[in-house]
Amino acid sequence: MASDLSQIAQLLDATLDPIKHKKAEAALKLEEKKPQFSLQLLKIVATENLEAKIRLSGALCFKNFIRHNYVDEDRNYKLPIDEVNTIKQELIGLMIACPATIQTQLGEAISIIADSDFWDRWDTLVADLVSRFSPDDFKVNNGVLEVAHSIFARWRPLYRSDDLYTEINHVLNTFALPFLNLLSATDQQITTHANDKVALKNYFDTLSLLIKVFYDLSCQDMPPQFESNLEHISTLLHKYLTYENPLLATDDDSEAGIVEIVKADICEVLQLYVTKFDDDFGRYTQVFIGSAWNLLSAIGPETKYDNLVSKALHFLTAIAASPTHSSAFNDENVLNQVSEKVILPNVALREADIELFEDEPIEFIRRDLEGSDTDSRRRAATDFLKQLQSNFEALVTSVAGRYINHYLEQGKTNWKDKDTAISLFLAVAAKGAVTAAHGVRTVNSQVNVVDFFQQHIANDLIAADAEPISKVDAIKYLYTFRSQLSKEQWQMAFQPLVQNLGSENYVVYTYAAICVERLLFLTDDSGVRFFGRADIEPVAKDLLDHLFKLVEKENSPAKLQENEFLMRCIMRVLIVMNTGVGNFADMVLDHLVAITNIIKTNPSNPRFYYYHFEALGAIVTYGSSAGTAKLEGRLWEPFNQIIAEDVNEFIPYIFQILAKLLELEPSGALSSNFQALVPPLMMPTLWETRGNIPALTRLLAAIIPRAANSIVAENQVQPILGIFQNLLRIKKTEQNAFDLLESIVLSIPRNALEPYFKEILSLLFTKLQSSPSDSFKLRFVRFYHLVSARVDAGLGTDFFVSQVDLVQNNLFVQIYLGIVLPNSDLLNRPVDRKLAVISFAKSMGDSAAFAQRYQKGWRFTCEAMLKLLLNAPKVATGTGDDVVNEADVDDIGFGLGFTALNTCKKSIIDVYPEIQDVKVWVRQYLTDANARHSGAIAKYIMERLSDEGKAAMAIYVG
């Protein structure tokens, strides 16, 4: 039964209400399962008499529905084919007719569909788009171009491939010439309507989209149609790079007008063409260099020009990087002009920067430090200077040095000038990128970064009367050159740095936290921590206490989690302190639990709560030396509330921490808290959220060993295997399926497992027949060895063979020769290679099947074991395989599903920890087996092995 349109519209409206949204979202989930739900959403989006917010909510819901329900991993449609076809037929026209805000959402939906279907299953799309082009209807053209951009922009980050170029050529054959005609027609309309403000603005919107699509079409290679028309295109681009019309000027100093947007788009295209196509485009470049230079020389300091200035500077940076064009800058007079007219005006602090520092400090920090200000004037100007310096190091260092000295002198009475000097010095002193892990690793040999700090900057770090921005400059200098300071220099600088955490200024104390955190993350080339536990232990408790007070200054959920840098520093201190956290674990837990209870009502900053849960993970991992019962008692109530209240953002983190609590004490009775959690974990709804699956699987796998008896008694083996089957079906979760299966095999008695084992094997064999990934084959091989080695648990090789026979008689030969033997040597982890050796040895020593039925197989098994023993696996204990080596998190894709907690990383399980020297164990085991079987093993060696094999086995069977 199809959904009711008005009911869906009401639910969409309710999702916008903070009080009703959860209930409404749950109801929409039920509606999703009804036929033609996607088409009902499109009808709502198309209904003009509905409120705009409901139509927009419908478009957003449609996009998310398509993301999760359009195709599976193998591009098979999850929707009925008639629904798919209707969506494609209606979507383009609907998007063109909708307002811009709705167009954005529908454009993203089209891009998702295109990822799956374009171009081979949607080969009419480009012709459909071209057929809608109009010489003078900007509304239709803008809609068509929005669709085109949403599809073609997908090409920008992709690596070259035959399939990609086939797709691009398919587009160009139909689209390129009509596109160029539209570019010319739009140029004519702009000229015709030069005095009509409204029409002019609309045609400029079209031009902006045309330039963006022009970039899309050129991003991999220059289209031949563009190459044939390059002179005309260049003339047109230059016309609009230098275009002025007071009708399109904006009064707002902070909001870029459409002319500035188009010029910035053009500069981006110029940068691409100089970088990739200079052989063809080079002859047109000179006029653009002059125009970009004039533009930068004349433009004002208003923030509305920031994006244009940065794009123009990116273009000049590309020119400076080009061997063909860069020589023009190898002249002292030219560099003086560049410095005075382009670099200095854009490096200097403006009133707008100071206002941002004072009024929106967290935004100032994010732009300045994280690289999100790639479109800022200062970053673009210093990148330009760095490029010039990499070409002409001595000359640029000399020219810049004069300006640095001048501004340092001015800075004695004007702190803003000193800020300019420091920015210039940072640009010429650093060689290469500033890395997240180490800051600047290589410096300009013609400057001394330590001397510069001591002479000009160090005093600002400690002076009570220094300007806040001057203090930030000092801290940022330490942050940038942290790898250049010796341990002794850092020990001198550390206390003054930490004292800045006590500043009243938000930016100063946040920069101090950032610098402390990056210092504690710093390692040498061998991975040894530069500043370790011994360095911070005396101040760790006070440092943490102060950091928590800074976080908790505001107690509203949004403000409390605003500053992720403070929480990141807390996390890092706990990680570096390692087991030393036990001395103040209660204090830290008090703060973290209190913060959890506040932010769960409105999780708004994914980075903050990621670091927050990493901090909780550190307390669980390092603070559990006295057992986990106390930690479980402290965490259970807040965690249980999060599960009960369905705080989706936190649940994957909660499950990881709960799993770690169990893994730290893998034996003993399960507490009543965890026992009560088992039935809800079996509910399908939890497993429907893809981001939950890794943590859910891990938690269930950790529960099974401690609840095996009750799982068997309460007939829960079959439901758990049902979860395994569902995980195995999907490629992205097949590794999780093996995690669960291994826990079952290690924990559930044979008599409870045996009724299901044939079906388990059937499922695995089906996957093995359908082009399995290498990782799947390796996990299957590990599973085989796990079963084969567990003779003492009633399993073993003969059990595995007998179960395979139930699937198909003698299928084992095919599986063993085709999968197990060739892949065993490909196992990488020492624990897995050790398990394979143990499995092979037990097959040789005690398997009736290999003794009689598979006599050649006995020889193959022996040879495989000997190959593994040539490089005998050694499993490190304690901090070996399971050392926590936290990763840098700057590139984590928050909101894209599951995010692993590094402090709760699962330790690698060694099924046989008692076997330390595997060669000694093999000798003892086979010698004992030979005695048990009246010399049979020695007989097999003599009868079944080559002379080389006999010699190799002589040391193992005495």
| 816-824 own/partner pairs: CB under 8 Å, 24+ apart | 816/854, 816/857, 816/860, 817/857, 817/860, 819/768, 819/777, 819/780, 819/781, 820/781, 820/784, 821/860, 821/861, 821/864, 823/777, 823/778, 823/781, 824/781, 824/785, 824/864, 824/868
Res 881: pLDDT: 33
**Model pLDDT, residue 958:** 66
Percent of the chain at pLDDT exceeding 90? 86
pLDDT in the model for residue 654: 96
Does residue 374 have a pLDDT over 60?
no
Nearest-angstrom CA–CA distance, 937 and 929 = 7
pLDDT at residue 372, rounded to an integer: 60
Asked whether the predicted pLDDT for residue 3 surpasses 90, the reply is no
Task: Read off the pLDDT of residues 201-260 as tens digits, 9 standing for 90 and up.
Answer: 999 999 999 999 999 999 999 999 999 999 999 999 999 999 999 999 998 888 999 999
Q: How far apart are CA 582 and CA 622, in angstroms?
A: 7
- Determine the average pLDDT of the residues in 899-903: 94
Phi-psi region of 242 (alpha: psi -120 to 50; beta: other; left: phi over 0): alpha
Q: Can you give the pLDDT at residue 694?
A: 96
* Whether residue 883 has pLDDT greater than 50: no
Higher pLDDT, 437 or 758: 758
Percent of the chain with pLDDT over 70: 97
Question: Which residue, 913, 829, 905, 902, is CA-closest to 877?
Answer: 913
Predicted confidence (pLDDT) at residue 876 exceeds the cutoff of 80: no
What would the mean pLDDT of 458-474 be, rounded to a whole number?
95
Q: What was the pLDDT predicted at 877?
A: 57
pLDDT at 540: 96
| Dist CA 176 CA 719 (whole Å) | 56
List b or e across 90-99, with b for residues whose CB sees 16 or more CB atoms inside 10 angstroms: ebbebbbebe
Q: Examine the pLDDT at 446 and tell me if it is beyond 90.
A: yes
Query: What are the tens digits of pLDDT across the range 61-81?
Result: 999 999 999 998 788 999 999
What is the reported pLDDT for 886? 45
Helices 629-644 and 651-664 meet at what angle, rounded to 10?
160
Confidence of residue 884 (pLDDT cuts 50, 70, 90): very low
pLDDT digits (tens, 9 = 90+) for 729-779: 999 999 999 999 999 999 999 999 999 999 999 999 999 998 899 999 999
User: Tell me: the pLDDT tens digits for 12-35?
Assistant: 999 998 888 888 988 998 999 999
CA angle 723, 896, 115 (to 5 degrees): 95
pLDDT-derived band at 434, boundaries 50, 70, 90: confident
